[in-house]
Structure formats: C-alpha cells, structure tokens
C-alpha cells in the first residue's frame, strides 16, 4: 500500500484532464526548446511521467512533443537524469506512431541502452529486436571509448535473447561467448577505487585499492565471483556479476547446440568418464571452441561458488546471497551436464558432498530442489541410486518448512514438472501425499492452481479414500499446523506449566496433551496411513472449532469445493464398483463430520450432492448393493434439516435406480422397504401442526419424495392405490393453516401441481411405467437433452389426457 502522500499524488495525476495535460506539455516544450535542462525541467518531466504512468489507459501526447522528447534524449551533452526521464516517458507511451529513434549509429553504451529499451517497448516486432541485437553485439565487439561501460548493454542483451534468440547469428553468439568467458573468469581480484570527493586535503593513499575478500572476511586467493566481497567494485567485476546473472538464460538459448556436435550422441558412459578426466586436467582450454570454452569456465565458476558457500558469512545479507548463488550454481551445472554428459561425473561427486553437507540444515532447504533435479536427470547415466535424496526431500522438507511460501511454491512446481517420472518410478511420491497437502493447507490461495495439476497424479485406487478424507479435513489441518508452529515457538517456561493430568483449556495445550497427541500425530502424519481410521479425528474437529474464524483456515476452506470437483472427475476415470460403493458410504458418513464453518459445510454439501449423481450414473447397482445404508440414511429426518442437498439426491437416486432395469437383483421386497421408509418420511414432514417453531422443509424435498414414491409404486403395482390415496390428501395438507403459515403461494402451487401430475400418471399404470421407468432405448442421452421429450412434458401430456374425460382411462 502507498503512503497517504503518495496516494494523494496518484489521485491528482489520474484526475488531470486532457486539456490540462496539453497545457502542461506545452510548458515542457518551451523549456526543452530553449535548452533549459535544469531543475525546473527535471521537476516537470517527473510530474509528466507520473501522469502518464498513473492510469491503466494510455494518455495521448502531441506527436511533435513526442518527437521533441526523442531529440532531447539523443542530445550529445544531455544530463543523465533528463535522458532517463525522457526514455521512461517514451516507454510508457509505447507503442507510438511518432517514433523516429534508431540505434544504428549510437556509440554511447548508456544511450544505446535507453534508446533500445524504447524500441523494444514497441511490441514484439522482429525488425526492432533484430536491429537492437545487431547493434548491441556490434558495440560489444569493439573497444568502447574511455569512460563508457559495457554493463549497460548486458540487461539489454538478456532481453533480446528472451524475445528472439534467433536474432543473433552463430558468429555473434561466439563473440558473446568469448566476452562472457573473460567476464566470468578474468575479473580483477583487487577492489575498486572510491570516487574522489575532491578538496585540498584528499589523501591519495586512502584511495589505494585493497584485495577482494571472501564472505567470512578472509582474503580471496582464487578468481572473483559474485560472492566475492569488496567495498568498491571495478568495471570488470560488475560485468562478472552481470554475466553470471544471465548465464543460465544464455546457456539455455545457445549452449545446447554444442552438445549436438559430431559423435556427441555416441559417447558411452566410459567415454564420458575419460573425457571428464581429460577436461579436468587439460591446460589448453583456450583451444576449445567458444561455446565449449564458456561451458568449461561456467562450470569452474559454479564449482567456486559451491566452495564459497561453505564459508560462514559475517553478515546476514551475504548469507542469503550464498544460498541464492548456490541454487543458481547447481541449476547451471545441471544445464551444462544436460548439454554435455562429460561433466556428469565431476558434478556428481561435487553434489554428493554438497548434499551431505546441507541436507541437515533447513536454511539450505531450497537448494535441495535443484540437487534433486540433477539426480533425477542424471542418476541413470551415472548409475547412481538417488532414492535417499528423494526420500529426505519428500518426508522432511514439507513437514518442517510448510510455512515458507517461496519453498512451498518451488516444491510444488518441482513436483509438477517431474510428475510423470515420480508417478512411474518413485513410490515415496504418492506415499508422502499427506506432506504435500500441508503445503496446500498453509498456502492454499497461492498454490491452488499448481496443486490442481498435481492432484490427479496422487490419486489411485489405493489412495482415493484417504485423500477424500484429507481434502475434507484440510481446514482442520491448517488449524493444526498453526498450533504446531505456535507450540514450537512457545517459551520453555510456559510449556513446563502445562499439566498433563488436567483437561486442556486451549488448542495449544491440547497439542501436547497425551489424550490428543496421537490424534494430532495422525492428522500431521508424514506418509499415508490407509489402515488408520479417520473417524478418530472427530474429537479434534470439535476441539479446533475455536479456530474456525482464523483467516488462514477460512481461506483454506474456500478452496475445498473446487478440489473436490477435480477429485471426483479424476476418480470417475478409474473407479470400479467396489470403490464407488466405498466412496458413497464415506460420502454419506463425512457429510455430517465436517469442520464447523457454516459456509464451508454448505459448499461441501452442494458439491457432494452433485457428485453423488455422477457416482450413481457410473455404477447404478450401488443403490441395490447399499440398500441397507441408503435406507437408514433416507429414513432419518435430521438428514433433511442438516444436509438437504445430499438427502434430496439420495432420494432421487433411489427412485431412479431401484429398478430391475439397472440391476436384476432388485426385488419387490427391497422396493416395498424403501417405499415404506420414504412414505413415513413424507408423512412426517407434511403433517404439520400449529406450533411456535414449525420446521420448514423446502418444496423440492417434498416433490422429490413424492416423485420417488410414485416411481417405486409404478414398479410394485400393489403400492399404487396406497400412493394414490396419499397424493389425494396433498390438497388438504397444502390448505392447512400450518402449511399456509410456512409456505408461500408459489410453493403450495408447485407441490399441488406435482401431486396432481403424479396422481394422474398412477391412474394409467402402463403409462406411469413408461414415463417414470423408461427403457434403456428411451432413456438415451438424447432423451434427457431434448426438451420436447423430457419427463415433465410426458407427465403434463398424460395429465391433460386424463383431464379431458374419463373415457381415456383404462378400466
């Protein structure tokens, strides 16, 4: 957020109208035409830049004024601040139809950098990118005048290879390869000289450069790197740091072609080993082609960085820089090994030592990811078993560093990038999914997109049920992780005051209480535990209820519905009948065992009810196979109050699939049992008596119950008179005083209409059988898509036939 003063400036800039902007531009035009390049002009250009950059839409400036800014930018003795402001305004106005700039004749590196940034801002136009690339390399090729620096051009070169790597020819890339070798390997090891402050008493000796030091304060005895420390830096040292910052991108763009040299694909592992030894002992690296020589020097540079990372930094910023450089160095070494396998053996021994050194230090956890990536890419070539590296990574890191946002993102990205390999070759990946869910629970808004790519790989017949439980308990897991962090940071004196014999008074005390310890350990488990019972978490959900309003827990709960939809979509691809039956039972059970966040429970119930329909369509026989459980669920009134959506779809599924059309094992006895249970349920919710607190059940529940009962009656002819009698009493129910006080006129009309339609259908049993239990040919996908032959239309048509006269009614 901006400060109030900054917010005020931005608001004023956004409110300036076009006419005011035109007048202000005219004032600046006058200053620039008079070559007044002092403080007033700087102030005006700063204000103009704020105006053109403060809005989302582009501001319009006069074409002549834009051309004037370009001319001032290229003035021979224009002050640097004026140049920078003109360039910034022109970039902000891009793309522009008034561009007259060209980089073809510019010799000054800083001006070339500013002009090129404007040209590249015009959009990804190949002509501009090519022209800028050619000019940058041309300037790098020659010797710059005294006082000019190449380091203004390296960020520009990095931008060019991002936009269009093909804009540089092979000769030009070889030239840059040679320059990068010099910048990386041959920078000065003496510190730079401070700029003289002037004055009569300035001491020449005070400006004598000292030696470069290491991060631990020792004098550097090897070549300069980005981890070398000095109070001031020379020009070639700045180029060294810039070259390293773009080295990875450069190797990815232009380094791989060298790996395709003749016979490079025919190298055996033994050949690679021999070549690596030769490369390590060779003193004639200058005879190598430029690309291979850059690769060699880049490898040496990375080795030096790994050695420097073992030193104890005196300052925290230097320690942070060590870790960042270590990650980059390992990544670059991996790229080099992918481009030339002769480096694999040298890198392997180096990274084995490095992994052993840093694997126990959580501060270096992020560096373990590129090390694991290296072993993943090259362990087969080197015939090395790297499972221990992966096991340490998947079991320890997420469990202890789930609260690090950067690590969480990089870890999930690492898993997503290698998901196919992990799924096919690494059992620990799927076994450790509870650990991966910790990263999601703590960082759910940021990681939801990446985790949705990962979830399908974690799902299988052996993990589907456990992952379903874990998804529903994810908010509970977020709360438990919060308590775990607070418990770890609690003072030792405070922990000592907790009495294990007393009942815990807070979640924090419960975390260390023997009564809840095993439950917390199960929720925070590292690997899958399919044999443990998730029902043991029920007391923990109640205990953690006080954290239901915690923002992190609420954010986590908001992501569950979308993950559940993905879960069921993936499970539907491989689930068989037994697994679907098991999943439906768990779904019904867990629908009343959710973390107490009202909005979360309502959202989950909506998703589960819609997915229940999908499961029934995949395996219609489940209604017969789970008849006992569904009978118990549909016969409980509290299920309507607490989970109406799920109850409604269960009742619908009973009416739809309790039929011999879907399962030959369906018996009349089963149909009669369901009929009696649902009839009792409908009777109970419709026989309202005047009371101070009359429960209201939605018209949808009533109409679905009536429809399902009618379907069941049409399949057991003896039930038709009983159902017809019940439907005939619905008018009295609707007109009762208790009903009138609870339901609106529209609700009453909806119930009466459905009752009349169903009663008319039952007057023609054969028609009822056709409409309510269509054959497979009639119940084709088109039957449900075509509104002209839908069930409501068939019911209404039958009702109209009956309303025209009794002559149409059989018997």
Q: Which two tokens stand for residue 58?
A: 């582009």
* Look-up of token digits 């009416």: 655
Cα–Cα distance, 653 to 655 (Å, whole number): 5
Beta-carbon contacts of residue 38 (< 8 Å; ≥ 6 apart) = none
Cα–Cα distance, 289 to 171 (Å, whole number): 12
Q: What is the pLDDT of residue 280?
A: 44
* Look-up of token digits 């009752």: 755
Determine the 3-state secondary structure of 190 from DSSP: strand
Mean of the per-residue pLDDT values of the chain: 85
Structural domain spans, the chain: 169-190+211-253+289-382, 385-492+502-619, 633-773
Q: What is the pLDDT of residue 124?
A: 66
Cα–Cα distance, 590 to 594 (Å, whole number): 7
Radius of gyration of the chain (CA): 37
Over the stretch 581-597, which tens digit does the pLDDT of each residue have?
Answer: 999 999 999 998 999 89
Over the stretch 307-352, which tens digit does the pLDDT of each residue have?
Answer: 999 999 999 999 999 999 999 999 999 999 999 999 999 999 999 9
Cα–Cα distance, 262 to 274 (Å, whole number): 18
Q: What is the pLDDT of residue 504?
A: 75
* Positions in the chain whose pLDDT score sits under 70: 1-2, 124, 147, 195-207, 257-286, 492-502, 688-695, 775-811
Q: What is the pLDDT of residue 806?
A: 39
DSSP letter for 229, please. Answer: B
What is this structure's pTM?
Answer: 0.84
Maximum separation of any 2 CA atoms in the chain, in Å: 126
How many other CB atoms are there within 10 angstroms of residue 415's CB atom?
23
């Amino acid at each position: 957020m901006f400060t109030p003063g900054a917010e005020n400036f931005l608001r004023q800039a956004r409110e300036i109208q076009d006419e005011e902007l035109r007048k202000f531009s005219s004032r600046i035009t006058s200053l620039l035409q008079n070559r007044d390049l002092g403080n007033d002009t700087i102030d005006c250009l700063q204000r103009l830049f704020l105006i053109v950059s403060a809005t989302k839409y582009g501001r319009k400036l006069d074409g002549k004024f834009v051309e004037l800014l370009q001319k001032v930018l290229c003035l021979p003795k224009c002050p640097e601040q004026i140049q920078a402001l003109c360039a910034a305004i022109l970039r902000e106005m891009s793309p522009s139809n008034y561009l007259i700039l060209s980089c073809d004749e510019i010799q000054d590196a800083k001006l070339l950098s500013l002009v090129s940034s404007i040209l590249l801002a015009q959009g990804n136009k190949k002509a501009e990118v090519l022209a800028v690339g050619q000019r940058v390399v041309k300037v790098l090729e020659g010797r710059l005048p005294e006082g000019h620096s190449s380091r203004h051009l390296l960020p520009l070169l990095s931008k060019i290879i991002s936009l269009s790597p093909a804009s540089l020819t092979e000769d030009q890339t070889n030239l840059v390869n040679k320059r990068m070798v010099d910048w990386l390997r041959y920078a000065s090891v003496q510190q730079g000289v401070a700029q003289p402050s002037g004055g009569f008493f300035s001491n020449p000796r005070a400006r004598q450069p000292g030696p470069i030091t290491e991060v631990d304060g020792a004098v550097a005895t090897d070549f300069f790197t980005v981890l070398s420390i000095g109070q001031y830096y020379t020009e070639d040292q700045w180029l060294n740091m810039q070259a390293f910052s773009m080295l990875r991108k450069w190797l990815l763009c232009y380094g791989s072609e060298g790996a395709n040299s003749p016979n490079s694909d025919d190298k055996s592992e033994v050949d690679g080993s021999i070549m690596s030894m030769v490369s390590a002992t060779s003193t004639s690296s200058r005879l190598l082609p430029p690309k291979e020589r850059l690769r060699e020097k880049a490898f040496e540079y990375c080795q030096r960085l790994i050695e420097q990372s073992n030193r104890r930094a005196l300052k925290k910023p230097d320690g942070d820089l060590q870790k960042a450089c270590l990650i980059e160095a390992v990544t670059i070494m991996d790229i080099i090994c992918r481009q030339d396998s002769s480096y694999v053996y040298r890198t392997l021994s180096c990274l084995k030592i490095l992994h052993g050194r840093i694997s126990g230090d959580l501060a270096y956890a992020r560096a373990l990811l590129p090390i694991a990536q290296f072993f993943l890419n090259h362990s087969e070539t080197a015939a090395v078993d790297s499972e221990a590296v992966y096991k340490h990574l998947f079991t320890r890191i997420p469990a202890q560093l789930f609260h690090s946002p950067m690590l969480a993102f990089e870890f999930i990205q690492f898993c997503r990038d290698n998901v196919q390999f992990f799924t096919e070759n690494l059992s620990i990946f799927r076994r450790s999914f509870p650990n991966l869910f910790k990263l999601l629970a703590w960082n759910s808004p940021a990681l939801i997109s990446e985790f949705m790519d990962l979830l399908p790989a974690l799902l299988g017949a052996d993990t589907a049920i456990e992952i379903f439980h874990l998804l529903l308990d994810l908010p509970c897991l977020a709360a438990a992780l919060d308590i775990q962090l607070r418990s770890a940071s609690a003072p030792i004196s405070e922990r000592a005051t907790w009495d294990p014999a007393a009942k815990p008074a807070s979640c924090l005390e419960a975390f260390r209480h023997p009564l809840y310890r095993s439950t917390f350990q199960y929720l925070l488990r590292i690997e899958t535990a399919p044999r443990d019972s998730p029902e043991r978490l029920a007391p923990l959900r109640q205990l953690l209820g006080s954290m239901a309003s915690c923002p992190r827990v609420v954010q986590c709960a908001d992501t569950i519905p979308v993950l559940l939809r993905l879960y069921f979509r993936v499970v539907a691809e491989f689930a068989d009948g037994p697994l679907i039956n098991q999943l439906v039972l768990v779904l019904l059970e867990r629908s009343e065992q959710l973390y107490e966040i009202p909005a979360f429970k309502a959202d989950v119930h909506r998703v589960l009810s819609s997915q229940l329909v999908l499961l029934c369509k995949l395996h219609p026989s489940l209604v017969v196979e789970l008849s006992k459980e569904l009978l118990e669920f549909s016969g409980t009134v509290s299920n309507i109050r607490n989970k109406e959506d799920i109850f409604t779809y269960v009742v619908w599924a009973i009416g739809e699939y309790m039929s011999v059309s879907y399962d030959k094992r369906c018996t009349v006895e089963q149909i009669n049992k369901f009929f009696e249970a649902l009839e009792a349920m409908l009777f109970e919710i419709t026989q309202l008596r005047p009371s101070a607190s009359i429960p209201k059940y939605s018209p949808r529940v009533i109409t679905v119950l009536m429809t399902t009962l009618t379907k069941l009656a049409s399949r057991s002819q003896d039930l038709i008179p009983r159902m017809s009698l019940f439907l005939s009493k619905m008018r009295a129910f609707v007109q009762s005083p208790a009903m009138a006080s609870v339901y609106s006129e529209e609700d009453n009309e909806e119930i009466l209409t459905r009752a009349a339609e169903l009663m008319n259908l039952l007057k023609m049993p054969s028609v009822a059988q056709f409409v309510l239990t269509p054959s497979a040919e009639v119940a084709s996908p088109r039957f449900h898509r075509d509104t002209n032959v839908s069930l409501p239309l068939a019911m209404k048509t039958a009702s109209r036939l009956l309303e025209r006269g009794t002559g149409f009614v059989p018997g």
